[in-house]
Amino acid sequence: MANIKKNDIVKILVGRDNGKTGKVLTVFPKKMKALVQGINMVKKHSRRQASDQQQGGIVHKESPINVSNLMIICQKCSRPTRIGFNKLSDGTKVRICKKCKEII
């Protein structure tokens, strides 16, 4: 699950937010889901908390989306792309863009 990481810019492939782009806030590798900024917004009803002085009401927040519905946008060619892996001469493993062969 090293294809998508935090702070990557991704494009949404399916769902009601199809075609939108956003920044990955959090990745949940065991669940195969990611939290993307401004994508898959849901309404959460919260009760007023007397101890915290917190207001009750409806809060809009992001909900996790499956990583199979996301595609990384390469910074160099600025197109949605699949991810490949290469090893550098010093032995470190890096992610590369399948279209322009640049390091992501």
What is the per-residue pLDDT across 17-46, written as a single tens digit (0 to 9) for each? Answer: 999 999 999 999 999 999 999 999 999 998
CATH top class, domain 9-73? mainly beta
The rounded distance, in Å, linking the Cα atoms of 104 and 99 is 12
Listed residue (21, 13, 4) closest to 83, CA to CA: 4
The rounded distance, in Å, linking the Cα atoms of 44 and 53 is 18
Domain ranges of the chain: 9-73, 79-104
pLDDT tens-digit readout, 56-65 = 889 999 999 9
**Are the C-beta atoms of 78 and 72 separated by less than 8 Å?**
no
**Model pTM above 0.95:** no
